A and B are shown apart, each in its own frame.
Chain A
Amino acid sequence: MKEYETIINKIYTILNSFCKSGRIIEEKVKEVFQEAHSTILKNETKLLNNQMILIKEKRLFFGALNNLDNVIQKMQFTLINASKMHENPITAYQCKELLPYMSNLAQEIDTLGEKYHEHKVYKIFDLSRVLRKRAANVNLYPTLMEEIEQINLQGGEISEFVEEFNNRLQSEIDLA
């Protein structure tokens, strides 16, 4: 099933219409982008619950889905904002520039299926990194702070992670 390609096609249709008419229907944008977000969330959940996949591969595939999700959510926010501020269609053109990268990534995710071959997961992650960088260049990727603010962890849990990361980093650099 070409689940992701279908989503990207729907986004493409919205952006095309935005470029032509200079207007968007906010409800339609929300519907399509929300559907994209829900699909990604469903796959992330499935991935994390799959006991057969190694943490290393889980992290890579999760990272790829997360990159795509972050771009899609930022795009939704930017498009709706642009419409309100009458900044169209420049924003729509910027979003359209990302579509080839989103489409490449979507195709690979669709062909991955349930098998999570290591080389395929690496390829997907690399494609998502390209998308992430391109999106960041046109301000269509959330900043690190925006990303962290979305994370549902208590202060102590974040501190614990930070402390462990710093300690391990120190010993790795010492060993390097």
Chain B
Amino acid sequence: MLILVDSSTLIAASVFWEFSKNGYLITAKHNAVCDDFFKIIKSTKDTTCIITKTTEEESKAVLNKIVNDIVERKFNSLPSFLKMFSLMKLQDAVTQASTDRLEKIVEEISSRKPIDMTERESIKKELYAFFRENVPKTFKYVKPTMPSKLPGPISSKREILDAMAHELLNSLPVKGIIYRGFPEPKDITLMAEATYLYRSSQTKEKVYIASLDNHFKPNPIQVTHDLTDRLVFSGKVDSTIRDMLEEKFGFRGDFPGEIIKELTKKDIIKKT
């Protein structure tokens, strides 16, 4: 069994430090799940975890971008050199500690498998064709169109729209498929690598992509309408595109916690 990891999972597992004396905590959302995911995978013999060089570099680039943006914004507005100096010390400590964790995960857990670049590029074309055909049929969230003549005050209009949104929700996926939108080139590359590994195993190998990104995993169904700015999570997910990708390309994208659940169900990971 192969599990490829995308940058969102790697970053989330890497960013965690707690300055317990003063109670400061820097931690990525889903850090606990992603950290557990890597710990479990590390101790599981029947799985091979793959973090590609591109994913590792991208994750570091994201971390650096975040800190760079903060420093750039603050740097010249600080009242004294001492403050400027202290900010540089703080950002450096945070960035390098996160990078240490990231590199440790890669060193301890990741394997590398050979990838044929020509083949990968050819698979990318198939993936682009797939997304060009399917993304236009999808929606990022459920949003009923507001009828032009809706009677009554704003509050009752809001109630009607809420009801319409929920009705639409129940008719999914008949009326629409929820998906994040066209994936970025780096996502397509990772998908192509997962497909290559699946096909080169003569389709015998189960291949997962562990990700927090909605381009890979089932998408949460969120509801909104014209009289609100809020996106409300319905509690349901739409896995249509993920399942189509699995059917056509052989890899299954999922949230790291869900992969662990599935491996536990299949007894690949022993229940504790």
Contacts and interface: CB of A to CB of B under 8 A. Distances in A.
A144 interface: yes
Contacts of B68: 55-56, 59
B25 interface: yes
B125 to A, nearest CB: 23
Contacts of A56: 64, 68
* Most interface-central of B87, B89, B99, B103 (chain A CB within 10 A): B89
Interface in A123-155: 129, 132-133, 136, 144-145, 147-153, 155
B159 interface: no
B22 A162 contact: no
Interface in A22-45: 44-45
A176 B62 contact: yes
Given A158-B90, A166-B26, A169-B11, A153 B66 contact: no
Given A63-B96, A153-B83, A173-B12, A48 B26 contact: no
Nearest to A168: B66
B110 interface: no
A144 B24 CA distance: 13
A46 to B, nearest CB: 12
Given A155-B22, A173-B12, A176-B7, A59 B67 contact: yes
Interface stretch (B69-77, B129-137, B201-209, B240-248): B69-77
A155 B24 CA distance: 9
Given A150-B89, A168-B69, A176 B27 contact: no
Interface string B236-259: 000000000000000000000000
A166 B12 CA distance: 11
Contacts of B21: 145, 149
- Is the contact region of chain A dominated by helix, strand, or loop, or is it mixed? helix
Contacts of A161: 70, 87, 90-91, 94
A59 B88 contact: yes
Counting contact residues on chain A (CB < 8 A from B), the size range is 35 or more
B93 interface: yes
- Is the contact region of chain B dominated by helix, strand, or loop, or is it mixed? helix
A173 B90 CA distance: 22
* Most interface-central of B15, B25, B90, B95 (chain A CB within 10 A): B90
Nearest to B6: A176
A151 B85 CA distance: 9
B8 interface: yes
Given A63-B92, A161-B70, A170-B29, A176 B212 contact: yes
The 9 closest A-B pairs by CB, nearest first: A176-B8, A168-B66, A153-B86, A147-B93, A63-B92, A152-B86, A151-B89, A144-B97, A55-B72
Given A157-B83, A166-B26, A176-B62, 6 more contacts: A44-B88, A48-B88, A62-B88, A151-B86, A158-B24, A165-B66
Interface of A: 44-45, 48-49, 55-56, 58-59, 62-63, 66-67, 129, 132-133, 136, 144-145, 147-153, 155, 157-159, 161-162, 164-166, 168-170, 172-173, 176
21 contacts: A48-B84, A48-B85, A48-B88, A55-B71, A129-B96, A132-B100, A133-B100, A133-B103, A144-B93, A145-B20, A148-B90, A157-B86, A158-B19, A165-B70, A165-B94, A169-B29, A173-B8, A173-B12, A173-B213, A176-B7, A176-B212
